[in-house]
């Protein structure tokens, strides 16, 4: 008798990669894995939760309550960062088990006790990823973070920095290429911290780019630190194999607030990193994250931040209103910013972000790009360029799931900003 499982994933690209590994484990254990949100009977439902903000954790709990109402007979397991942070709230919401991140490996076997996280510098997943419902392969290469930014809960729920074994990463990528995936997204909490067998992230890129096949590699979020310049050089030397895309988390455009955030660079260092990337990677898409309303933020701080953001001319910006996370240093900081002030600063930053996104889009009109068209809907085929611009063409104009050279005509570029 067949056993059916569903996996629902919230949050970051690393969660997507973790769910791909979990999919493989469940299939190996005899489950038929269906896409999360599918109709019909499910014996097992797994929610891979997120806790990066208070709202993300609340959304995870709401999903559990809905799952229990809609699937009264299913076994519901919650894992991920929100479960690591507050398991009891998920049990109260109707979950049968709430497992920390280290417990994800135990789900198919039913060993749902408190799994201890390993702090060894190199780890193995003991399986390769499976992507039955995606057009891109999200490959986990790293776990954990040593930065301890004052606002961030992630080091407390993901642990210290560890790198996935080099041979296993390469094997996972080879399998995805053999399975026909045209794009591999390398993910981790801090991908720039990758280090195994004498290979850092730049060395890993060199190895992966030597694998035969028609594919490209995209890096997930990276850190704009001065010791990461080798990554830019590796991207430049790889040519079309590595996407012209960098998501460099700024978090704030003012040195005083960056110091309070415990970010490990200055605005000038960030500026030099961006300049080097644009010099060596023409047409590179540079995106970022910015938090507004951090404790102690003044009008002068925000003015400096807004000016810096405009100067950087980002292709896209994820803007967050500061959300205090219990257990982090920032949650105890004085001088909270009035919500109305935060809302207005958010609005101003969003306006600047929309303007710079449009400028980047317009700068690419008429230029050649490597595009993968992924899905068709109502006669329109949509996809993404290597520098992460959204394209839409008539269905049948290009094959789906293949890398094609395409000139970015104004009529084919969609105007919406990409949602990463």
Residue-wise pLDDT for 327-370, tens only, equals 999 999 999 999 999 999 999 999 999 999 999 999 999 999 99
CA angle 189, 196, 241 (to 5 degrees): 70
pLDDT digits (tens, 9 = 90+) for 78-100: 999 999 999 999 999 999 999 99
Tell me the three state secondary structure of residue 406.
strand
In terms of Cα–Cα distance, which of 56, 45, 27 is closest to 96? 45
DSSP letters, 259-315, are HHHT-SS-HHHHHHHHHHHHHHSTT-EEEEEEEES-TT--HHHHHHHHHHHHHHT-S
- In this prediction the pTM is 0.93
pLDDT confidence of residue 38: 56
Phi-psi region of 11 (alpha: psi -120 to 50; beta: other; left: phi over 0): left
Split at pLDDT 50, 70, 90, the class of 420 is very low
Split at pLDDT 50, 70, 90, the class of 288 is very high
pLDDT digits (tens, 9 = 90+) for 98-142: 999 988 888 887 655 444 455 689 999 999 999 988 889 999 999
φ/ψ of residue 253, rounded to 5 = -105, 45
Split at pLDDT 50, 70, 90, the class of 226 is confident
Q: What is the mean pLDDT of the chain?
A: 92
Tell me the three state secondary structure of residue 122.
strand
**Cβ burial, residue 151 (10 Å; 0-12/13-18/19+):** buried
User: Rounded to whole angstroms, how far apart are CA atoms 199 and 202?
Assistant: 7
User: Rounded to whole angstroms, how far apart are CA atoms 403 and 238?
Assistant: 16
How big is the chain, counted in residues? 420
């Amino acid at each position: 008798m067949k056993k059916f499982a569903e996996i629902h994933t919230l949050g970051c690209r690393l969660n997507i990669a973790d769910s791909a590994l979990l999919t493989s484990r469940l299939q190996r254990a005899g489950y038929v894995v269906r896409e999360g949100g599918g109709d019909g009977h499910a014996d097992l439902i797994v929610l891979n939760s997120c806790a990066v903000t208070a709202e993300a954790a609340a959304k995870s709990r709401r999903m559990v309550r809905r799952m229990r109402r809609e699937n009264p007979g299913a076994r519901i397991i919650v894992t991920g960062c929100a479960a690591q942070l507050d398991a009891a709230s998920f049990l109260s919401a109707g979950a049968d088990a709430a497992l920390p991140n280290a417990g994800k490996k135990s789900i198919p076997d039913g060993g749902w006790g408190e799994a201890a996280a390993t702090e060894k510098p190199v780890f193995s997943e003991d399986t390769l990823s499976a992507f039955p419902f995606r057009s891109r392969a999200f490959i986990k290469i790293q776990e954990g973070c040593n930065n301890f930014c004052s606002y961030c809960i992630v080091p407390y729920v993901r642990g210290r920095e560890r790198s996935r074994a080099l041979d296993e990463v390469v094997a996972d990528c080879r399998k995805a290429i053999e399975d026909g995936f045209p794009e591999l997204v390398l993910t981790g909490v801090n991908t720039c911290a990758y280090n195994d067998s004498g290979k850092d992230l730049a060395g890993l890129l060199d190895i992966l780019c030597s694998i035969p096949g028609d594919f490209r590699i995209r890096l997930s979020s990276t850190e704009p630190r001065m010791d990461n310049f080798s990554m830019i050089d590796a991207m430049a030397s790889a040519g079309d194999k590595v996407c012209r895309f960098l998501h460099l988390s700024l978090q704030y455009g003012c040195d005083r607030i960056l110091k309070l955030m415990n970010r490990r660079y200055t605005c000038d260092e960030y500026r030099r990193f961006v300049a080097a990337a644009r010099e060596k990677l023409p047409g590179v898409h540079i995106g970022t994250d910015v938090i507004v309303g951090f404790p102690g933020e003044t009008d002068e701080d925000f003015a400096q931040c807004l000016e810096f953001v405009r100067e950087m001319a980002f292709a896209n910006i994820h803007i967050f209103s500061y959300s205090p996370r219990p257990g982090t240093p920032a949650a105890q900081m004085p001088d909270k910013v009035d919500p109305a002030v935060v809302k207005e600063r958010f609005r101003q930053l969003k306006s600047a972000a929309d303007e710079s996104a449009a400028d980047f889009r317009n700068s690419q009109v008429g230029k050649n790009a490597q595009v993968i068209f992924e899905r068709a809907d109502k006669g329109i085929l949509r996809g993404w360029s290597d520098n992460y611009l959204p394209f839409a063409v008539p269905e049948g104009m290009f094959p789906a799931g293949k890398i094609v050279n395409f000139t970015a005509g104004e009529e084919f570029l969609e105007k919406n900003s990409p949602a990463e």
